[in-house]
Amino acid sequence: SKKALADLQDQLRLLKKDLANKDTLVQESTSMKDANKHVHFEPDRYDPLSGLDRTSLAAARRELDQCRMKIDGLTHDLRETTIKLAAKDERINELKNENDSIKREHDLISQANNQLRLRVHELESNVNSYDSVANKSTLTISSMQKDAKEKQDQLLELQARIRYI
């Protein structure tokens, strides 16, 4: 779109130059007076342009008007293109800022995710340690219950002997 903008500016510059040239021609043709010509009262004298000059002048004016209209159109197109370009540049900047914000948010989430993974690993290690301790405790309890049962059996046996004696 910058190329299109440059092309429009070039066209506008050329048309303005062409317009200036045609303005000069129109002014020259309307101010044509022969200083050496002897003045007679002639009806054509009050009309400084001959038929051919008048036709050329009218054609030049039409062409000049067309050039002006074309310049106005190109100027309008140039303004619209410039506005659109500015809006697109603004949108690009907004999207860049949004992208940067999303990247920062992603980095923060990744960092939090890594911290949570470390915490999960730590908790899993703790759970394994607790399971190991629980298994040892269960074995110890079972062993103590077995010892207590044996002691209870010995106590009952001793009580039975004492009664027997």
Inside any domain, residue 158? no
Q: Tell which residue, 29, 20, 21, 13, has the closest CA to residue 74.
A: 13
Inside any domain, residue 140? no
Inside any domain, residue 33? yes
Predicted TM-score of the model (pTM): 0.44
Inside any domain, residue 150? no
Number of domains in the chain: 1
Q: Which long-range contacts (CB under 8 A, 24 or more apart) does 20-29 make?
A: 22/60, 22/63, 22/64, 22/67, 23/64, 25/60, 26/57, 26/60, 26/61, 26/64, 29/53, 29/56, 29/57, 29/60
Inside any domain, residue 79? yes
Q: CA angle, corner 153, sides to 149 and 158, nearest 5?
A: 145
**pLDDT at residue 48, as a whole number:** 55
Inside any domain, residue 9? yes
Inside any domain, residue 147? no
**Cβ–Cβ under 8 Å, residues 1 and 81:** yes
Q: Tell me 31's DSSP state.
A: T
**pLDDT at residue 52, as a whole number:** 64
Q: From residue 15, how far is each of 22, 56, 160 by CA, in Å?
A: 10, 20, 132
How confident is the prediction along the chain (165 residues), in pLDDT tens digits per residue? 778 778 888 888 888 888 888 888 777 776 654 444 444 444 454 455 566 677 877 888 888 889 889 889 988 998 998 899 999 999 999 999 999 999 999 999 999 999 999 999 999 988 888 888 888 888 889 999 999 999 999 999 998 888 887
Inside any domain, residue 31? yes
Domain that holds residue 70: 2-134
